[in-house]
Structure 1
Amino acid sequence: MRSQVGIIGAGPAGLLLSHLLYLQGIESIILESRSREEIEGTIRAGVLEQGTVNLLKATGVGERLMKEGHVHRGIELQFKGKRHRIDLHELSGGKEITVYAQHEVIKDLVAARLQAGAKIFFDVSDVSLYDIETSTPKIQFRHGDELQELTCDFIAGCDGFHGPSRKAIPADVRSEKQKIYPFGWLGILAKTAPVNPELIYTHHERGFALLSTRSPEIQRHYIQVDPKDDIANWSDDRIWTELHARVDMADGWILQDGPIIQKNIVSMRSFVCETMQYGRLFLAGDAAHIVPPTGAKGLNLAAADIQVLARGINEFYQSGKEELLNRYSEICVRRVWKAQRFSYWMTTMLHRNFDHSPFNAGIQLAELDYVISSKSASTSLAENYVGLPMEW
């Protein structure tokens, strides 16, 4: 089997890359270990930066996003029993964010690729990469009972943190950095009406909480918990009691309860593989970097990677130039570290670290107070939250 580009992973990064390459007349084949039903049905939150929304609209996959996405022009920070609005739109020069779940983005991209006749192999296994230092890298994989081989000019590793792509880069040349946070998020999907027009980020002595919108009928909320806790320890009543304790207001505002239809606990980490390219292999998205969800950067970083990679591959086929491809890691990693900085800042400012002293807790509150009282600090938050400009 032969293709110009072999893409491992049918998440947002892999699908978007295949879509952008198709628009430039470049063929690709996608290999995905899960079924179509699984990738489209795995519910994950999504806060899309202005640049990501613009990209999806400009490339013809934004129609449902514009109909069903929720445009937010601000966020609210809640601490010491009061809420303070950060006007993202005004502070960023007119930009905004759109709440549109990641699995909905995946549905749109899968539909567009299949309509265009793309080759997507679902339910593959035993994926391995070799000859990645040559001009004809290869991917071996099993589909059904048949062992197959895909030869290509380039391989895009878009297969997430646990996929085989990053591990194909020799360990002695991989530069990896990681931080594990002592925080976990217990996330719920609840059948209630929207609780607020914009996201509410809450700092509380009992721990962080986030209230967000999913649809007119279903909302997504989070509370900070021990990442090693068992979800079985959290009854619906306990979850609502804890949410009320953290977000209800003295002025009478009370969070609306409702049936919980999904709940789970996820741990939080920051991870960067600075070696995002090796030979003809290019890593993108979660295969190269993980950010804590507090800064809402995961999918957006993947989209930024893909824009650089798609342009670099197109330049190669149009003119034979490899300058942009050779600078792929340099360009992307610079943006990745800025997103890591912002996500780390948001996470450490808003979460309660129970190992901290009262002095550390005072510093957190002072940081929050500075953000809401200083226009320059609010502007910095807004600029990062809506998405920094692409730097080539």
Structure 2
Amino acid sequence: MMRTQVGIIGAGPAGLLLAQLLHKHGIESVVLESRDRDYVRSRVRAGVQEQGTVDTFIEAGVGKNLLQQRMVHSGVFLNFAGEAHRLSMADLIGEQQVSVYGQRNITCDMIDVREAAGLPLFFEAQATRIEGLEEDAPKIHYTINGREQTLECEFVAGCDGYHGISRHAIPQHLQKTFTYEYPYSWFAVLAEAPPANHEVMYAHHRDGFALQSMRSPRISRLYIQCDNGVDADTWSDDMFFNEFEKRIQYRVNRGPIIQKAVAPMRNFISEPMRYKRLFLAGDAAHIVPATGAKGMNLAVADVKLLDKALVQFYTTGSEELLDRYSELALRRVWKVSRFSWWAT
């Protein structure tokens, strides 16, 4: 049986960042991840990082590659009726910028830093249940290498996403969930082609929305609105590019599509985000549509707040911020959810 101060379920950006911030403040943690190491290092997710998110990664000591390899955007294009309008963030909000650096990349950076420091991170460790919350003595039961194990901890951070077990450890009669399913999906592709525009472009078209983004100077990330239930495998590369160019009314660089998927769009919020000594962060508590590129940024905001609350507890004994974590986090969550709904 292992013991630690903070047991973290999930080795996505939220869980790994929390572990790194806690380590910087002298607080021990153990990270349990159900997937294998290669899967976690290879999964492709969003890559748009707001200034506050970049600053937090730098503060955590994992921002070196981000600063060297990111693509910096100081504006965004909105395309209506074939006419592009650029919004300058520099003019509107000053020096704050948006960085494009893949979620996969920052995840790999944090894994490398944690493993280099010899800190506990376990892959293929499937958390099965959380016990002891009522006694303020949490235990995470998990399976690894076919054996059942237990992690005793003082706090549990549920960073295990929408399908994880953490949220379900909160008694059902205390939970309030809010869900809105959109009547359409996003057809998303990664293409081996340089982005045609160096900044993100959103396009409004009578046949549906389109978005040009990027993952690197050589990889384009492209989206079109589609009906729910569309099978991505029935679309050829040319079919996608033709439809995309029709909507964005802009000629893009074409190249082999290396990944394609249809993603349903939803808003989801679960309250509260704290029960006893269990705290939820990221997709375990909320999901927003990708339109506003807020998902990872919102998770980082949760983690930064939770780290601050835990540091306060371990340095002063005060539970003030721990007690207010759910309230403070949900203020931001609801604002971001509303913005993402409005933008969608």
SS at match of 2:172: coil
1-structure distance, mates of 2:116, 2:228: 41
2-structure distance, mates of 1:43, 1:127: 26
Is 1:258 aligned with 2:255? yes
| Letter in structure 2 aligned against 1:330 | E
2-structure distance, mates of 1:133, 1:176: 22
SS at match of 1:205: coil
| 2:330 alignment partner in structure 1 | 333
1-structure distance, mates of 2:268, 2:90: 30
1:58-207 residue pairs with structure 2 within 5 A? 58-125=59-126, 127-207=128-208
Describe the superposition over 1:9-61 as per-residue Cα deviations: whole angstroms up to 9, x where unpaired: 00011000000000010000001000111011011121101001111112211
The sequence identity of aligned pairs, in percent, is 49
Q: TM-score by structure 1 length?
A: 0.86
C-alpha displacement of 1:126: 5.1
Check the 8 A contact 2:32/2:127 in 1, yes or no: no
| Letter in structure 2 aligned against 1:6 | G
**In structure 2, which of residues 250, 266, 281 is the aligned counterpart of residue 269 of structure 1?**
266
1:23-34 residue pairs with structure 2 within 5 A? 23-34=24-35
| 2:343 alignment partner in structure 1 | 346
C-alpha displacement of 1:256: 2.0
Count of aligned pairs between the two proteins: 343
C-alpha displacement of 1:192: 1.2
**In structure 1, which of residues 294, 297, 300 is the aligned counterpart of residue 297 of structure 2?**
300
C-alpha displacement of 1:213: 1.8
C-alpha displacement of 1:257: 1.6
2-structure distance, mates of 1:103, 1:193: 19
Relative to its length, the structure with more strand (as a share) is 2
C-alpha displacement of 1:93: 2.3
C-alpha displacement of 1:275: 0.7
Describe the superposition over 1:249-284 as per-residue Cα deviations: whole angstroms up to 9, x where unpaired: 4xxxx2222111111111010011121000100000
Check the 8 A contact 1:4/1:26 in 2, yes or no: yes
In the alignment, structure 2 segments of 5+ residues that lack a partner are: none
SS at match of 2:173: coil
| 1:3 alignment partner in structure 2 | 4
Q: What is the RMSD computed on CA atoms of the aligned residues?
A: 1.0
C-alpha displacement of 1:191: 1.3
Check the 8 A contact 1:248/1:255 in 2, yes or no: no
Describe the superposition over 1:54-79 as per-residue Cα deviations: whole angstroms up to 9, x where unpaired: 11112211111011110000000001
2-structure distance, mates of 1:36, 1:109: 13
**In structure 2, which of residues 287, 290, 296 is the aligned counterpart of residue 290 of structure 1?**
287
Q: TM-score by structure 2 length?
A: 0.98
C-alpha displacement of 1:83: 0.4
Structure 1, 176-185 or 122-131: larger mean CA deviation:
122-131
Check the 8 A contact 2:78/2:203 in 1, yes or no: yes
| Letter in structure 2 aligned against 1:300 | N
| 1:239 alignment partner in structure 2 | 240
| 2:210 alignment partner in structure 1 | 209
In the alignment, structure 1 segments of 5+ residues that lack a partner are: 348-392
Check the 8 A contact 2:32/2:126 in 1, yes or no: no
2-structure distance, mates of 1:285, 1:247: 32
Check the 8 A contact 1:186/1:265 in 2, yes or no: yes
C-alpha displacement of 1:206: 0.8
1-structure distance, mates of 2:127, 2:202: 42
| Letter in structure 1 aligned against 2:229 | K
1:17-56 residue pairs with structure 2 within 5 A? 17-56=18-57
| Letter in structure 1 aligned against 2:84 | R
Describe the superposition over 1:142-191 as per-residue Cα deviations: whole angstroms up to 9, x where unpaired: 11022100110000000000000001111110111111111211111111
C-alpha displacement of 1:227: 2.4
2-structure distance, mates of 1:314, 1:281: 16
Is 1:311 aligned with 2:308? yes
